């Protein structure tokens, strides 16, 4: 159906193709004594722009509700992700940060895992992070952090204090920010003419191919493709000059933008745009077929969990991820089907999952008496988790996954 929502990139009409219904904030884990009536909900629906092809949420959640002092996600919580960011830092140090007195700015630096490697090499840097708790963690590591949201005015203040940047970087951040024009104007202001803006985010092509519908939640406002990023860059005086497919977080793309006309785009850009056209990623037919696959997963997952409950089997959730809020609320999964979720994040332990109020417990609750089944919400870290939890398998435990379909391992 049509939506009255205008595209946040080009103001053209957005065609809605899937409605997840009433959803809570994905990282708003409740205290056990909290008043459920005070919990914030919004309509989670997604659409595609008729003009620039950007896939985006239909309803915007105020940024202060999502990113704040108590924001619980830590980028360095996964050893695999630590290696990923440290590897990127080494690459930037050997390629883009080789001039005299280079300067790098990271938007949404979280707990500073990438910038720590930059700082250890004595390179000037600045993290811009609005979530105060994780910003403090970064600062404690010796990372220089500014606690604020990034926009055009922020860029002007950074230039006045530190000069222009050789590299601006963002990981799993840019897709969170609806007000893209201000961001990219700020990038142009802050970036040297020879500099690059590098960002990596979940890739719509992988979401559609794998039916990884739980990548769609309040914090993810945009779902990028090479084609939509190319158009977004063009409208803001920038140019998409490189793309790189990544396996992290269930499939991402690392995009490199430069001031228009300053660099020759790599062949990888044209190749990925052509692939997206062949797959018809921006077509409503393709996106509505994705929605039909989501409906099937919902039916299959709830049927399996109810069957296991009726058979007297025990099921625990594994990983109180932001993504899990979409799954549990769309499927109506509460404590009657999954009595608890184990998670390594102290800030989530002892709280209740958003919307469906499943208790979140420390990992000891999982290993103390293994359940018969574990529903893997953190499926994007499946290899790392399954290696870590080999004793669960040895004890006869089985994993339930729902991407790309519902299956048991």
Copy the structure tokens of residue 307: 């069957």
241 neighbors 257 (Cβ within 8 angstroms): yes
> What percent of the chain clears pLDDT 90, i.e. is strictly above it?
87
User: What are the tens digits of pLDDT across the range 88-131?
Assistant: 999 999 999 999 999 999 999 988 999 999 999 999 999 999 88
User: What are the tens digits of pLDDT across the range 228-243?
Assistant: 999 999 999 999 999 9
CA–CA dist 40, 42 (Å, integer)? 7
Copy the structure tokens of residue 291: 């929605």
Per-residue pLDDT for 68 more than 50? no
218 neighbors 61 (Cβ within 8 angstroms): yes
239 neighbors 260 (Cβ within 8 angstroms): yes
Copy the structure tokens of residue 48: 């595609």
Same fold? 75-283, 285-408: yes
The single residue listed with the structure tokens 């963690």 is 137
Topology at the third CATH level for domain 75-283: Rossmann fold (3.40.50)
Q: Would you tell me which CATH number, out of the four given (3.20.20.140, 3.40.50.720, 3.40.718.10, 3.60.15.10), belongs to the domain 285-408?
A: 3.40.50.720
Residue 1: the pLDDT is 43
User: What are the tens digits of pLDDT across the range 14-25?
Assistant: 999 999 999 999
203 neighbors 222 (Cβ within 8 angstroms): no
3-state secondary structure of 266: coil
Q: What mean pLDDT is predicted for residues 191-204?
A: 98
Any idea which of 22-26, 76-80, 250-254, 290-294 has the lowest mean pLDDT?
76-80
Domain boundaries, the chain: 2-59, 75-283, 285-408
Residue 53: the pLDDT is 98
CA 254 to chain centre: 13
Copy the structure tokens of residue 15: 């065609």
């Amino acid at each position: 159906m049509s939506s009255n929502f205008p595209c946040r990139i080009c103001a053209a009409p957005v065609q809605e193709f899937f409605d997840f219904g009433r959803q809570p904030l994905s990282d708003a884990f409740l205290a056990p004594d909290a008043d459920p009536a005070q919990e914030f909900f919004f309509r989670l629906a997604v659409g595609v722009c008729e003009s620039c092809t950007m896939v985006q949420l239909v309803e915007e959640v105020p940024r202060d509700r999502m990113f704040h002092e108590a924001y619980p996600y830590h980028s360095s919580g996964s050893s695999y992700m630590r290696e990923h960011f440290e590897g990127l830092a080494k690459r930037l140090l050997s390629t883009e940060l080789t001039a005299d007195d280079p300067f790098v700015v990271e938007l949404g630096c979280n707990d500073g895992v990438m910038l720590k490697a930059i700082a250890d090499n004595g390179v000037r840097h600045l993290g811009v992070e609005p979530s105060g708790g994780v910003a403090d963690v970064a600062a404690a590591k010796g990372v220089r952090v500014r606690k604020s949201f990034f926009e055009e005015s922020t860029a002007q203040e950074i230039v006045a204090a530190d000069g222009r940047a050789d590299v601006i970087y963002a990981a799993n951040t840019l897709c969170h920010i609806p007000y893209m024009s201000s961001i990219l104007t700020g990038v142009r202001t802050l970036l040297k003419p020879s500099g690059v803006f590098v960002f990596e985010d979940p890739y719509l092509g992988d979401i559609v191919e794998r039916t990884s519908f739980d990548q769609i939640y309040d914090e993810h406002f945009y779902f990028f493709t090479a084609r939509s990023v190319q158009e977004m860059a063009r409208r803001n005086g920038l140019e998409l000059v490189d793309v790189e497919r990544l396996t992290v977080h269930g499939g991402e793309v690392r995009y490199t933008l430069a001031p228009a006309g300053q660099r020759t785009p790599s062949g990888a850009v044209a190749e990925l745009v052509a692939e997206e056209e062949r797959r018809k990623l921006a077509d409503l037919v393709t996106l509505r077929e994705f929605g039909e696959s989501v409906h099937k997963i919902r039916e299959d997952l709830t049927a399996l969990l109810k069957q296991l409950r009726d058979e007297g089997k025990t099921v625990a959730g594994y990983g109180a991820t932001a993504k899990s809020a979409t799954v549990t609320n769309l499927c109506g999964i509460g404590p009657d089907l999954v009595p608890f979720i184990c998670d390594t994040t102290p800030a989530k332990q002892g709280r209740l999952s958003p919307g469906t109020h499943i208790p979140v417990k420390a990992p000891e609750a999982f290993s103390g008496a293994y359940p018969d089944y574990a529903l893997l919400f953190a499926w994007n870290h499946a290899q790392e988790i399954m290696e870590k939890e080999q004793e669960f398998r040895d004890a006869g435990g089985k994993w339930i996954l729902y991407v790309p379909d519902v299956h048991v391992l």
